[in-house]
Amino acid sequence: MRLLFRDVKQVACLDFPQSSNVGDNAIWLGQHAVLRYLRKQVAYQCDNRSYSKNQLKRQIGDGTILIAGGGNFGDLWPQSQRFREQVIQDFPENRIIQMPQSIYFRNRENLERAKKCINGHQNFVLLVRDQKSYAFAKNEFTVETHLCPDLAFGIELQNGFSNLGEKIILLSREDVEGKAIDSTDVGNNGSQIEKIDWSMIDRITPFIRVNQILSHSIHNYPKAFSFASSVSSLFYDGVSERRFRRACDVLRTARVVITNRLHGHILCLLLGIPHICIDNTLYGKIQNFYDTWTKDSPITFWANSADEAVRMAHEIVRDEMLEKVGGMV
């Protein structure tokens, strides 16, 4: 990462996540932590609704443009991919760095369009966050490509086991990437299992609401609200920080977490929480990342179903309680 930014003084950071997805917000925070560590100035920021080609050109000139990392490189999230390709077309001369992504295309036609756009750019750098995406990128794209960890790891946060709660949390996504995980034990009053997703724990504070209104206004009335883009971007780090801290506070109430979210896995690693992963995503996103970076983690376990994961979670809680009692004797 240091070599990529060796001759860079200032950057533009594009595609701020205007959503409750804690993973995307953690990536944004981690990316900015890395930029601060490297002492790079951020000259312009936007989400994909408040993006302005002209304003970006005025602020960054021939400087480096960063597109936020995540899991939206491909055709599962078409709005994000269209935005990426639009920026590439708008700035054919600037160096553009796509921050670490997972890659997945369902449709060959969409892939060919992306290849034409990306391979046609003379100064595009693609960072990917798992070996499978790296192999795919090297095979399909002709641009400079590097393997890089998810930037949520740029956040320094380690609180250990002493702050853990007592219950089991089932953190489950249900969207275009994967089906919800469920268990016959969830909802059993004696099981102390709480099922959540990021949207369920989100709190729309006045701070977050103002940011959303500004983004919406800039998108729908660009001339009238052209002045508001720089104001809106001032909210970004605070919005992401609030969502990230809220998620950490919720996860800390668990003794064990069961999840099919990649950043459920990553946040549990950052917080030191034992967790069980179930990868029922379309393309093995969690497994691919785990195999590349985190397979030596002693607090990560795997299950093939929710029922198996719940049984494992109860076993982990029981074993920890036995160890605690044994230590008191």
Per-position pLDDT tens, the chain of length 329: 888 999 999 999 999 998 889 999 999 999 999 999 999 999 999 999 889 999 999 999 999 999 999 999 999 999 999 999 999 999 999 999 999 999 999 999 999 999 999 999 999 999 999 999 999 999 999 999 999 999 999 997 645 444 578 899 999 998 888 888 776 556 554 557 899 999 887 666 655 555 555 555 555 545 544 554 555 567 788 889 999 999 999 999 999 999 999 999 999 999 999 999 999 889 999 999 999 999 999 999 999 988 999 999 999 998 865 565 444 43
Please tell me whether residues 292 and 321 are part of one structural domain: yes
User: How far apart are alpha carbons 110 and 64 in whole angstroms?
Assistant: 26
> Do the domain assignments include residue 227?
no
Please tell me whether residues 181 and 94 are part of one structural domain: no
Q: Which of the 8 DSSP states describes residue 291? A: I
Q: What is the CATH number of the domain that holds 65?
A: 3.40.50
Please tell me whether residues 14 and 83 are part of one structural domain: yes
Please tell me whether residues 63 and 141 are part of one structural domain: yes
Predicted model pTM = 0.89
> Do the domain assignments include residue 213?
no
**Taking the chain, what is the end-to-end CA distance rounded to the nearest angstrom?**
50
**Which residues, at least 6 apart from 76, have a Cβ–Cβ distance to it below 8 Å?**
104, 106, 176, 177, 282
Total domain count for the chain? 2
3-state DSSP helix/strand/coil % of the chain, to nearest 5: 45, 20, 35
The residue among 55, 160, 104, 38 whose CA lies nearest residue 289 is: 104
Kindly state the tokens that stand for 286.
């969690």
Give the tens place of pLDDT for each residue, 234-271: 778 888 999 999 999 999 999 999 999 999 999 999 99
Identity of the residue numbered 217? S
> Do the domain assignments include residue 224?
no
CA 277 from chain centre, in angstroms, equals: 17
Cβ of 50: how many Cβ atoms within 10 Å?
26
The domain of 318 spans 161-201+240-328
- Let me know how long the chain is: 329
> Do the domain assignments include residue 208?
no
